[in-house]
């Protein structure tokens, strides 16, 4: 059982980050804005599996965290990808090659009933919103900054934070070129575009970054990405009066390959925000989700994200 001191069991929230291939769970002390310890519980999930397979994997990880305390916590918060009804806990994910078996399932009810929690103590937050709020809450940027958060990986997450309020922007669903932004600024674009340029296949952006010294096509790829992302974001940065950009997600780990050109291109378009890289990793989304329990009821009006 857990013996590391924490402020009180009332301040402990079991928080989870739901990824495309895993669930990561950690206990968060919301009075201290941090995890209770370095320990996290990470379980791989077959996001293309059945409803039972997915929920069983989630519940196993969550129960491990709950049962690690002598006195069982009574609060649960999850950072979830959309589309999702965050208020009522119902998934509407479809067409994203993940979690489709959970479509129209009341996940709040499933988790609350199995874990013996009050339904009002099971909360959900958009994962991009939770990520940015976690970074702001732990001091990466000043609360009065106007911050645009970008989580770039299997999906494109975007959120806005100012004076303690963080909201999802869902810019990935906006029209861009022949489709939507999410199709151009995520891992699948890199994989598809690299094959078109080189005739070779690659698994992900991490694998691509290892080829940069060997294959000129990789350099071209990141140049295209920098130009496209900066052009897409410039108007949003201006419209929201953004002064700080925060990058997170797996693609940001290759930022050295696109950030200089991205910044230069933004400047040429009249945008010069301060750029920061996320510091908390997966913990930021869990902290941001847990912070829902610190908010005044009704502060955030979560809606279904189309």
Q: What is the pLDDT of residue 4?
A: 54
Q: What is the pLDDT of residue 18?
A: 94
Q: What distance in Å separates the CA atoms of residue 236 and residue 181, rounded to the nearest whole number?
A: 13
What burial class does residue 54 get, using C-beta atoms within 10 Å of its C-beta: 0-12 exposed, 13-18 middle, 19+ buried? buried
Q: Which residues of the chain have pLDDT under 70?
A: 1-6, 38, 296-306
Q: What is the pLDDT of residue 41?
A: 87
Sign of CA dihedral 193, 20, 173, 15: negative
Q: What is the pLDDT of residue 36?
A: 79
Residues of the chain within CATH 3.30.420.40 domain(s) are: 9-130+283-294, 143-278
Q: What is the pLDDT of residue 96?
A: 76
89-92 own/partner pairs: CB under 8 Å, 24+ apart? 89/122, 89/124, 92/304
219-223 own/partner pairs: CB under 8 Å, 24+ apart? 219/257, 221/190, 221/193, 221/194, 221/197, 222/254, 222/257, 222/258, 222/261, 223/258, 223/261
Q: What distance in Å separates the CA atoms of residue 55 and residue 58, rounded to the nearest whole number?
A: 5
Q: How many CA atoms lie within 13 A of 291 on its CB side?
A: 27
Strand 76-80 relative to strand 12-18: parallel, antiparallel, unpaired? parallel
Q: What is the pLDDT of residue 35?
A: 80
Q: What distance in Å separates the CA atoms of residue 136 and residue 163, rounded to the nearest whole number?
A: 10
Just give the CATH number of 9-130+283-294: 3.30.420.40
pLDDT, tens digit, for every residue of 172-196?
999 999 999 999 999 999 999 999 9
Task: Enter the tokens of residue 129.
Answer: 């919103």
pTM for this model (two decimals)? 0.89
Judge contact between 184 and 177, C-beta under 8 A: yes
Q: What is the pLDDT of residue 33?
A: 79
**Interacting residues of 197 by C-beta distance below 8 A, sequence separation 6+:** 217, 220, 221
Q: How many CA atoms lie within 13 A of 86 on its CB side?
A: 26
Strand partners, 68: none
Kind and range of the H or E run holding 44 = strand 41-44
Judge contact between 166 and 287, C-beta under 8 A: no
Q: Which CATH class is domain 143-278?
A: alpha beta
């Amino acid at each position: 059982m857990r013996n590391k001191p924490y402020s009180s069991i009332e301040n402990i929230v079991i928080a989870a980050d739901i990824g495309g291939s895993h669930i990561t769970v950690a206990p968060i002390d919301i009075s201290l804005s941090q995890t209770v310890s370095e320990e996290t519980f990470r379980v791989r999930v077959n996001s293309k599996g059945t409803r039972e397979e997915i929920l069983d994997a989630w519940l196993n990880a969550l129960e491990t965290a709950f049962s690690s305390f002598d006195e069982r916590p009574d609060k649960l918060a999850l950072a979830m990808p959309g589309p999702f009804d965050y208020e009522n806990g119902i998934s509407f994910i479809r067409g994203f090659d993940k979690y489709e078996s959970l479509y129209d399932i009341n996940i709040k009810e499933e988790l609350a009933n199995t874990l013996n929690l009050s339904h009002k103590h099971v909360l959900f937050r958009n994962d991009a919103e939770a990520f940015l709020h976690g970074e702001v809450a732990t001091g990466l940027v000043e609360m009065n900054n106007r911050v645009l958060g970008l989580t770039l990986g299997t999906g494109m997450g975007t959120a806005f934070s100012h004076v303690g309020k963080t909201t999802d922007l869902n810019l990935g669903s906006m029209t861009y070129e022949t489709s939507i932004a999410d199709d151009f600024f995520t891992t699948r674009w890199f994989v598809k575009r690299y094959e078109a340029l080189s005739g070779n296949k690659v698994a992900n952006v991490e694998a691509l970054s290892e080829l940069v010294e060997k294959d000129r096509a990789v350099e071209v790829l990141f140049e295209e990405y920098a130009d496209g992302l900066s052009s897409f974001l410039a108007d949003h940065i201006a419209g929201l009066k953004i002064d700080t950009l925060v990058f997170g997600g797996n693609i940001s780990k290759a930022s050295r390959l696109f950030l200089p050109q991205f910044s230069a291109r933004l400047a040429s378009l009249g945008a010069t925000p301060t750029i920061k890289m996320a510091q908390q990793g997966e913990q930021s989304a869990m902290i941001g989700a847990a912070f829902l329990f610190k908010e005044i009821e009704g502060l955030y009006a979560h809606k279904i994200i189309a």
